[in-house]
């Protein structure tokens, strides 16, 4: 009974009395190479949040499936909203939960492009609304590349029936933007530029310029080794939030 969308309003009223913490999963709908599903980021966020909710008894709100993903726009099926729209929506969802007594929010985020916006929302909630919000990745730390071995392995663990491994590819990333040398995702010399995925790759398997990002080596077993310890780590965080004193988490007043 941890999925808010799967219970009645009467059950929800009782659940909100039991804890002041909720989990909000959020991701994106965007290309993840020729082998992974477009919903990778939001489906993984929802699955991770469900697993943590089941372990901790904390309510999980419905997943937000579209985020800040305009850099993938050249790939069919990718969807996005402007950052200002995304921020306003996420804050409004959180405050709707707050109206039912929630005081602490853990956002489980499946898309790196959302992170800056989500941190702004968390800051506004903490400074202005008396709500403590934190943002955690839906993916275990240390994964290399977008749609690479790690992300694909996580997908195989959660949604193996939807991954088409026969279409998986390894992709060397481009190193030049015209005559300019690219470093990382978006650096040309000492400057950054607003990059698009197609600046680095035609397949959508994405990583640092000049590197080979592999997806063909992914497996469900690798996904299990990545995912299950991370579910435990996130669950420990939620338990700590449940027991934490709200006043100690909020911003300190001006002197």
Read off the pLDDT of residues 188-218 as tens digits, 9 standing for 90 and up. 999 999 999 999 999 999 999 999 999 999 9
Average pLDDT over residues 123-133: 97
199, part of any domain: no
Q: What is the pLDDT of residue 56?
A: 97
Q: Is the pLDDT of residue 255 over 90?
A: no
Q: Is the pLDDT of residue 254 over 90?
A: no
132, part of any domain: yes
Q: What is the pLDDT of residue 164?
A: 98
Token output for 14: 């009782």
188, part of any domain: no
The per-residue DSSP string of 9-33 comes to HHHHHHHHHH-SEEEEEE------T
Angle (CA) 160-166-167 rounded to 5° is: 100
Nearest to residue 228, comparing CAs of 32, 65, 55? 55
> Which position has the token pair 């988490």?
249
Q: What is the pLDDT of residue 225?
A: 97
Percent of the chain beyond pLDDT 70? Answer: 100
Q: What is the pLDDT of residue 253?
A: 87
Q: What is the pLDDT of residue 2?
A: 86
155, part of any domain: no
Q: How confident is the model at residue 168 (pLDDT cuts 50, 70, 90)?
A: very high
Token output for 189: 């010399």
Contacts of 81 (CB under 8 A, 6+ apart): 66, 67, 68, 89
Q: Is the pLDDT of residue 1 over 60?
A: no
The rounded mean pLDDT for the chain is 97
**CA max distance for the chain:** 63
Q: How confident is the model at residue 246 (pLDDT cuts 50, 70, 90)?
A: very high
Quote the CA–CA distance of 178 and 199 in Å, as a whole number.
Answer: 10
182, part of any domain: no
215, part of any domain: no
23, part of any domain: yes
CATH number at residue 48: 3.40.50.10310
Quote the CA–CA distance of 77 and 122 in Å, as a whole number.
Answer: 29
68 HSE (CA, 13 A, CB side): 17
128, part of any domain: yes
Q: What is the pLDDT of residue 50?
A: 98
Structural domain range at position 105: 4-140+223-244
In the chain, how many domains are there? Answer: 1
């Amino acid at each position: 009974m941890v999925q808010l969308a799967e219970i009645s309003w009467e059950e929800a009223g009782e659940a909100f009395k039991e804890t002041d913490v909720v989990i909000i999963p959020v991701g994106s709908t965007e290309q993840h190479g020729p082998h992974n599903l477009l919903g990778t980021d939001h489906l993984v966020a929802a699955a991770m949040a469900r697993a943590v909710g089941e372990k901790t008894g904390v309510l999980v709100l419905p997943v937000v499936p579209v985020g800040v993903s305009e850099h993938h726009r050249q790939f069919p099926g990718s969807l996005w909203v402007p950052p200002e729209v995304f921020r306003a929506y996420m804050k409004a969802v959180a405050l709707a939960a707050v109206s039912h007594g929630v005081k602490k929010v853990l956002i489980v985020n499946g898309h790196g492009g959302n992170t800056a916006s989500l941190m702004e929302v968390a800051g506004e909630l903490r400074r202005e609304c008396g709500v403590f919000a934190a943002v955690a990745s839906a993916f275990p730390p240390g994964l290399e590349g977008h749609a690479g071995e790690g992300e694909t392995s996580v997908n195989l663990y959660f949604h193996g029936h939807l991954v088409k491994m026969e279409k998986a590819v390894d992709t060397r990333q481009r190193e030049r933007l015209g005559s300019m040398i690219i470093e990382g995702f978006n650096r040309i010399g000492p400057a950054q530029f607003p990059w698009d995925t197609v600046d680095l790759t035609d397949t959508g398997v994405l990583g640092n310029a000049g590197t080979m990002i592999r997806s063909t080596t992914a497996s469900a077993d690798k996904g299990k080794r990545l995912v299950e310890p991370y579910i435990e780590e996130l669950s420990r965080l939620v338990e700590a939030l449940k027991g934490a004193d709200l006043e100690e988490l909020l911003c300190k007043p001006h002197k």
